Amino acid sequence: MKTFSIKIDALTGEEYYEVYLRGQQLLNDALLNKASAFTLEERMALDLEGLLRSGVGDLETQVQRSLQNYRRKPDDLERYIFLMGLLDRSEPLFYKVLCENLEEMVPIVYTPTVGQACLQASHITRRYRGIFISPDNINRIDQIFQSVHLPQVYLIVVTDGERILGLGDLGSDGMGIPVGKVALYVAAGGLHPACCLPISLDVGTNNERLLKDPLYLGYKHPRLEGKPYEDFIEKFVLGVKRNFPDALLQWEDFAKHKAFKNLERYRNRLLSFNDDIQGTGSISLAALMTAMRIKKSSFKEQRFVIVGMGQAGTGIGSCIRTMLKEEGLTDAEARSRIFAVDMQGLLVEDDPELERPQWPFAQPREAVAEWKLETAGKISFQDVVANAKPTVLIGVTAKRGLFSEKILAEVAQNTERPVVLALSNPTFKSECTPEEVARATKGKGLIATGSPFAPVEWEGSPIAVSQCNNMYIFPGMGLGALCAKALKVTDEMFLAASKALSGMVTHEQEAHGMLLPEMKDIREVSFTVAMAVAKEARDSGLGRLLEDKDLEKVIRKAQWEPIFNPYRPG
């Protein structure tokens, strides 16, 4: 049942909510609860008299009270629990608090704290958010979707919980990731919370800890695999298309083999993208574009080593390959500048373990035949660094300390300004710290990390540490694709997003080694990315035929600000 509709008064032009709930039900609805901010008129009209104290407070007063309570919490997990409780109580208040304290709170509502919360989700659950679809109810998906109380669903973030951050299979305890991503879509991108739906595909878990945990709340069976899994996903996608035909779907934290298959199977059937593949590639490319300007160099003059060729590494490699080809290189020439390392070592063409998405990055055996190796027959990461002499080092392995001081120092010998992207989440999984990069490169390294790190200094001078967070890309991508009414999300849209984002870094910021804009500017970042995406959709024949100024008006209007709207009974 829809709980409210967004209306405009034909006489006055006032925007208001037509509300269908009354009394305690209204106070229990997080999207609608204004607590002390209900006016006296609203209290009488909506059966709230006697349920609230007599004082009428505004949103700002509630923000102050919430911040006082938040800052009393003793640790980050308790702060996460508090913020999720606030989200369950009043979404406009939660988003007002979050938007005004983004730099402080993004590490709480998303990485790294959300990882800790997912590990303990069944033990700290207070209220459920979003939709849980399992093999027990997939055949009733239409009834489930039709019961969603939101006025209109335009955005879906979905996971099956098999690869949560760098933490592995967490089953339906991974729901914290879609919930966190929706929070960032709203806070950073400006999507209205009433149009965003997090979903968990609870298809079981192979995590023995969860299966044996009496408090685990998910589907306690081994994971669906093979055809039963594919049939489940097909039923889910068809359910989305039937019930939410205008929605964009973001695939999130699926296992590698399933992520690539889902993306390729559905990207032309459903407005959708995979943030782990495409979003990570796009944000990393933006950081590298800025690094090339700082280095006064080009992509084709670099040698890239990417360690960890799963979703993120393959996405990053694809984006680098696109830039190399844009600079005039052939496929073979582009391949010769990207050295991809996975669990078996350097990817080479005759490797029997090579997976299809990795094919474009495998080196010909003859290209490395003369390399000096520590162990004959295996080309290790250390061998790659010693022989390929990289100028750019990228890690997406979730292996803390993989980029040792020795490795970093070797890379620093190959170029005056080495670039190091240590992108694994959460913080304790990062391949290295900014301090380690600064020490090994004598302060010359250009650094970006996946999770936030404290600023560092070298010989008294501050060194910028950019957080290479997908939050810079996916909210604007979603906003732009939806405002453009795009038919599908393309690789060209992500390339346009990367260029627009990198272009926002000022000359002054570049002088300090910053590779990405500051987090405090995230709303403007999302607008800029959305504009680039919408224009690319239009120019490629996949989006609305609007002039730039009209696109700007549409996107600005779509960016919701957290307020308490006036209510009228419906």
Whole-model pTM?
0.94
- Average pLDDT of the residues in 49-54: 96
Tell whether the model's pLDDT for residue 290 goes beyond 90. Answer: yes
Residue the block writes with tokens 């574009």:
289
Residue 165: pLDDT band with limits 50, 70, 90: confident
Residue 428 is predicted with a pLDDT of 83
pLDDT digit string (tens) for 142-151?
999 999 999 9
Tell whether the model's pLDDT for residue 385 goes beyond 80. Answer: yes
Percent residues over pLDDT 70 in the chain = 100
Q: Which residues in the chain are classed under CATH 3.40.50.720?
A: 296-472
Residue 377: pLDDT band with limits 50, 70, 90: confident
- Say if CB 359 and CB 255 are below 8 A apart: no
Tell whether the model's pLDDT for residue 426 goes beyond 80. Answer: no
- Average pLDDT of the residues in 490-506: 97
Instruction: Give CA–CA dist 64/88, Å, rounded.
Output: 18
Tell whether the model's pLDDT for residue 1 goes beyond 80. Answer: no
**Among 150-164, 242-256, 367-381, which stretch is predicted with the lowest mean pLDDT?**
367-381
Q: Which residues contact 212 (CB under 8 A, 6 or more apart)?
A: none
pLDDT digit string (tens) for 80-109?
999 999 999 999 999 999 999 998 999 999
Residues in the chain: 570
Pick the CATH number of 296-472 from 3.40.50.720, 3.40.1670.10, 1.20.120.80, 3.40.50.300: 3.40.50.720
Q: Which residues contact 431 (CB under 8 A, 6 or more apart)?
A: 307, 395, 397, 399, 400, 401, 402, 403, 422, 423, 424
Query: What is the architecture of the domain spanning 58-270?
Result: 3-Layer(aba) Sandwich (3.40)
SS3 337: coil
- Name the residue among 247, 240, 266, 237 with its Cα closest to residue 155: 247
Long-range (24+ apart) CB contacts under 8 A made by 215-220 are: 215/122, 215/123, 216/122, 216/171, 216/173, 217/121, 217/122, 217/125, 217/172, 217/173, 218/122, 218/161, 218/171, 218/172, 218/173, 219/134, 219/135, 219/136, 219/171, 219/172
Q: Please indicate whether residue 20 is annotated as part of the active site.
A: no
CB atoms within 10 A of CB 213: 15
Kindly report the average pLDDT of the chain as a whole number: 95
Residue 352 is predicted with a pLDDT of 87
Q: Which residues in the chain are classed under CATH 3.40.50.10380?
A: 58-270
- Say if CB 217 and CB 200 are below 8 A apart: no
pLDDT digit string (tens) for 223-281?
999 999 999 999 999 999 999 999 999 999 999 999 999 999 999 999 999 999 999 99
Residue 2: pLDDT band with limits 50, 70, 90: confident
- Say if CB 132 and CB 202 are below 8 A apart: yes
Tell whether the model's pLDDT for residue 133 goes beyond 90. Answer: yes
Of 70, 110, 219, 266, which residue is the catalytic one?
110
Tell whether the model's pLDDT for residue 331 goes beyond 90. Answer: yes
Tell whether the model's pLDDT for residue 461 goes beyond 90. Answer: no
- Average pLDDT of the residues in 153-169: 94
Residue the block writes with tokens 């889902």:
262
Q: What are phi and psi of 22, to 5 degrees?
A: -140, 155
Residue 454: pLDDT band with limits 50, 70, 90: confident
Of 181, 258, 295, 535, which residue is the catalytic one?
181
